[in-house]
Amino acid sequence: MNICERRTKQPEYWFVLGAVCLIAVLYYGIRAAAVLGLAAVTAVLTDFFCLFLQGRAYRTADLSNAAAAVVMALMFPATIPYSIVMLSTVFMVAVGIHAFGSRGNYLFPPAAAGYLFALISWKHEVLQFPEAGGQLALFGNQAERVPSLSQTIFTERMLRVDLLDLLMGAVASPMGTGSILLLTIGLLVMICRRNVSYWAVFGFLTGLSVLSMFGQLPASLFLSANMLLFSLIFLLGDLSALLKGSLSLLCAGTVTGMLTWYFLEHLQDI
């Protein structure tokens, strides 16, 4: 069993991931549960098929791919079409994981690879969000969709949202990335339990802060954006599992922070 498989089987990882999924379902209803479940099932089936083609046996530990699929789905709006969820999950597992030799050998966090595939292929569907708190129907949703809080921040260069709504996640955002309070607690738990390296977190914040000095948006507003705390927990967690040594983690975190700054600043240009 490799280190990445051990990480996803630790109770605190599942506790934080489960709490984020629960908040998503409470805000968006059965539609959110369906998207998360479909991503997990598609990941297991794709993983099984890829292993079959390679002549390898399926192991219970490979269910960690389902966790990566759920993380990817949490970065989508609750109104994301099911077809996009399935295609993105297949890409994540087949290309993001198995093309590099299965779990533990990939170049990028699988969830990030699947999300970027969906973003490049279906930008409008990925970057438009329903208002938080609306109980969406399982099929045929006609809910009004708006740009995310992140896009509003980067367009207007200011934060226009009530502080309590921001902390609780009652803002237009991807399903699992809105609640700053929950994600902050989750990040502290993951750092204390060594699921996420504090060296990687420090590097991430350093890279983000350095590049933000060259932009028009301060680092404090970047940290209010939907994706950042979520990425610190679930995407840097993959780096913490794959890399060893404080220097390598610091460098990887710094590069990730810089790339995140660049990505968010130029999101509209994709």
Model's pTM, two decimal places? Answer: 0.84
CA torsion angle 79 95 150 255 (round to 10): 170
pLDDT in tens, 202-260: 888 888 777 777 766 666 666 666 677 888 888 777 766 666 778 888 888 888 878 77
Report the chain's C-alpha Rg in angstroms: 18
Predicted pLDDT of residue 19: 92
Q: What is the mean pLDDT of residues 30-48?
A: 93
Q: What percent of the chain has pLDDT over 90?
A: 20
At 85 the pLDDT is 97
